[in-house]
Amino acid sequence: MLRQVKLTRWRGFDAHSSPFRVSDSSTHGFVQMLTEKKAVDGPPQGGSRPPKGNDKIMAEPLRNRIPAPTQFFAPDTRAAPVPGPTPRVEATLDQRIAPRFTLLIRAAKLIAADGEYLCIIRDASETGISVRTFHPLPVGSQMVIELQNGDRYHADLVWQQDDRAGFAFDQPADIARIIASPSRYSKRAIRVSLTAEAEIVAGGTVADATIRDISQQGAKIDCGFRLAMDQRVKLRAAGMVETDAIVRWRREGQCGLVFDETFQFGELARIVMEIQRRRAT
């Protein structure tokens, strides 16, 4: 019975999955022990004696299957292979080197050769920005990006798709300042400089005027007609709806108007684009 137990235990052993190294000398000694034990115990009980020569047939695989319990595989001390040079891949628009900060949502304006336009900064890095636009940008790649605090950055238009556009700065920018956007003005609205012929309706009088700049909350106009402080007026201009306003300040032929209803940023951006287009034609 001892012989059968030993053989059954080791017969399922896999030398390839063992952490031990097979020793021929220990294997030979173990086989010899089994042979001597078999001679003393005689044939197994409850069965016939194995045919002659069977011991040799069964013992032969044991030479390759029984491990030496005191010998372990030596650790692999070979150095890890050094990786070869990484193939060079041409950078695409989405493979940017400088870290980018997303979802800034900073209002800004683009100053081009033919006028100024509104946009929203969506993400930025020290090497460039991407913006949301509300209309196709004019032809010409060189522009100046002005933030709400008055900071300006010279940049080249790199790409434009639908309502998005990407710019590359001429020089590395201070990304911390772009994010913080420090300003001495509290939530000052962006003013777009332009020239647009307009009319002022004050009571029963209609006077010619010229819009010099416009924002979401108001406009600066030139007007030869003397308007009173806090006087209610209407502003008319091609490319925008008639707008109710109040005179907030006046000096030397100029007046500052505050609109009764604030323009949405995208609405104002399209108004500015239409005024600039009409002026160009």
Residue-wise pLDDT for 219-229, tens only, equals 999 999 999 99
- Does a structural domain hold residue 88? no
220 lies in the same domain as 252 = yes
Residue 116 has pLDDT above 90, yes or no: yes
Q: What is the pLDDT of residues 65-85, one digit of tens each?
A: 444 444 444 455 555 554 444
Q: How far is CA 100 from the centre of its chain?
A: 7
| Separation between Cα atoms, residue 15 and residue 22, nearest integer Å | 8
Q: What is the pLDDT of residues 123-154, one digit of tens each?
A: 999 999 999 999 998 877 789 999 999 999 99
In this prediction, residue 186 carries a pLDDT of 65
3-class SS letters over the chain: CHHHHHHHHHHCCCHHHCCEEECHHHHHHHHHHHHHHHHHHCCCCCCCCCCCCHHHHHHHHHCCCCEEEEEECCCCCCCCCCCCCCCCCCCCCCCCCCCCEEEEEEEEEEEECCEEEEEEEEEECCCEEEEECCCCCCCCCEEEEEECCCCEEEEEEEEEECCEEEEEECCCCCHHHHHHCCCCCCCCCCCEEEEEEEEEEECCEEEEEEEEEECCCEEEEEECCCCCCCCEEEEEECCEEEEEEEEEEEECCEEEEEECCCCCHHHHHHHHHHHHHHHHC
Specify the higher pLDDT residue, 142 or 61. Answer: 142
In this prediction, residue 59 carries a pLDDT of 44
Number of domains in the chain: 3
Report the mean per-residue pLDDT for the chain: 76
In this prediction, residue 13 carries a pLDDT of 44
149 lies in the same domain as 197 = no
- Does a structural domain hold residue 226? yes
In this prediction, residue 71 carries a pLDDT of 45
In this prediction, residue 101 carries a pLDDT of 59
* pLDDT band at residue 279 using 50, 70 and 90 as cut-offs: confident
Is this prediction's pTM over 0.85?
no
Residue 93 has pLDDT above 50, yes or no: no
276 lies in the same domain as 224 = yes
175 lies in the same domain as 201 = no
Residue 20, both tokens: 């031990």
- Does a structural domain hold residue 159? yes
198 lies in the same domain as 273 = yes
Mean pLDDT of 109-124: 93
What is the residue range of 64's domain? 2-70
Q: Are 177 and 127 in contact (CB under 8 A)?
A: no
